[in-house]
Amino acid sequence: MATAYGMGQIRYTSAGGFATDETESWTGEHFYKNGVVGGYKDFRIKTSNLKPIEQGDIYLLHCDIARNSTYNMIFDLKLCNTDSTYGLTDSDDYQNIKRFTVGKDATGSVNTLCAILFDDNFNNTDVKIVENYYDKQLKEVNKSTKKLFSTSDLNKNRVYRGREINGSDEDYYFYYRPYSGPSYPYGWIRILNYNLQFISESWKQNQSSAQKASFDFIIKNSLLNSNLNNFNSIVFDMVRQDWDNDITNKEGTEEFKGLKANIDFEIYKITDILTTEKFKGKSPFSTIGVWGHPDLIMAINGEEIRVGQSGYYELTDFDITSLGIAAVSDKDRFTLDYQYKLGA
């Protein structure tokens, strides 16, 4: 016997009915993971009265994260309980959502110095700061002594990047060697062997309010084990990098250099269309077609899906038991065509 299908359409033309702003019911805070005080401060948002997120509830989390002027920041987004160790132990319960990166802002060279470790060509090793790394051009080199003649304003305690007048486009590094006798070259000497290292002035570390990265995530407690159904917080777990273990001294206090991200957020509870009275007896959908603006966010069976550049998304011959469309404003207008098996 052939399968009989029913079909229908929803048109969303104005805000309301598909998403509820619950931002005021959540609190954001920085915290030390696992209670360990140090440079590693993470961020979490938690429900009011620490009420657990109900299994099956769908949320849209929008966040604006201030970019750091020096470093990229990497986060693991997790559902956790405020009493947990946030995945630090094997026995800990959490639900991983996504790893994402916030790139440093457009002024990424701010508060960053270039240090050079080099051989001075006389069996000595030295380290200095490279001055005006990108824009300083040196003038002329004496070919016989390798002595560099340049402008008088150069800092003799620094290394400079410059270009010899020899028809080459290649840049070199030069340091100043004081006079030590007629048998030795002196003045600005070209460095032949070196390592470069970029180092931040971490006590000046800042996050630009004008440079922010925006993200949207679908949040759903999808773990089936009822014993784990007690998540009451969303954690931005910052991934530790090598420089987190560096020590910086700020105003007489030594501390780890670890970052503290500045995060603004909005959170919306998304209506699961298939749980509404209108669609009672029509679940699961077997086929859907969604017309909307590119990047319109949906949650299909708890998975985050976005409408592509064509403005149309279609899913056929698939049991769709949960469907939320993140229509949080008038710009999120959409049309949903759906099909379901009769008597399913």
Give the pLDDT confidence of 110-159 residue by residue, as tens digits: 567 788 999 988 888 999 988 753 333 444 444 444 444 445 557 788 88
Q: Can you give the pLDDT at residue 105?
A: 74
Q: Can you give the pLDDT at residue 343?
A: 72
Neighbours of 230 (CB within 10 A): 17
pLDDT of 31 strictly over 70: yes
Residue type, 161: R
Lowest mean pLDDT among 2-6, 73-77, 152-156, 288-292: 152-156
Q: In CATH, what number does 19-108+203-270 get?
A: 2.60.120
Q: Which of 140, 306, 117, 96 is nearest to 199 (CA)?
A: 117
- Owner of token pair 């240090």: 115
Lowest mean pLDDT among 6-20, 207-221, 254-268: 254-268
Summary mean pLDDT of the chain = 78
With cut-offs at 50, 70 and 90, classify the pLDDT of residue 226.
very low
Rounded CA-CA distance 141/189 in Å is 9
Give the pLDDT confidence of 130-143 residue by residue, as tens digits: 875 333 344 444 44
pLDDT of 204 strictly over 70: no
3-state secondary structure of 155: coil
Neighbours of 274 (CB within 10 A): 19
Residue type, 1: M
Q: What percent of the chain is predicted at pLDDT more than 70?
A: 71
The answer to whether 107 and 205 are in contact (CB under 8 A) is no
Handedness of CA 217, 75, 235, 96 (dihedral sign): positive
Lowest mean pLDDT among 173-182, 246-255, 322-331: 246-255
The answer to whether 267 and 30 are in contact (CB under 8 A) is no
Q: Please, how many CA atoms are within 13 Å of residue 237, restricted to the half-sphere of its CB? A: 22
Beta bridge partners of 200: 112
Rounded CA-CA distance 283/211 in Å is 44
Radius of gyration of the chain (CA): 29
3-state secondary structure of 227: helix
For β-strands 159-163 and 125-131, DSSP reports them as parallel
Q: Please, how many CA atoms are within 13 Å of residue 12, restricted to the half-sphere of its CB? A: 25
Lowest mean pLDDT among 68-82, 223-237, 290-304: 223-237
Give the pLDDT confidence of 293-318 residue by residue, as tens digits: 999 999 999 899 999 999 999 999 99
Q: Which residues contact 321 (CB under 8 A, 6 or more apart)?
A: 274, 283, 284, 301
Residues of the chain with CATH 2.60.120: 5-17+272-341, 19-108+203-270
The answer to whether 53 and 221 are in contact (CB under 8 A) is yes
Rounded CA-CA distance 287/318 in Å is 7
With cut-offs at 50, 70 and 90, classify the pLDDT of residue 209.
low
Rounded CA-CA distance 8/142 in Å is 84
Residue 254, token pair as written in the block: 């030594």
CATH class of the domain defined by 5-17+272-341: mainly beta
Region 72-99: what's the mean pLDDT? 74
Q: Which of 216, 233, 214 is nearest to 78 (CA)?
A: 233
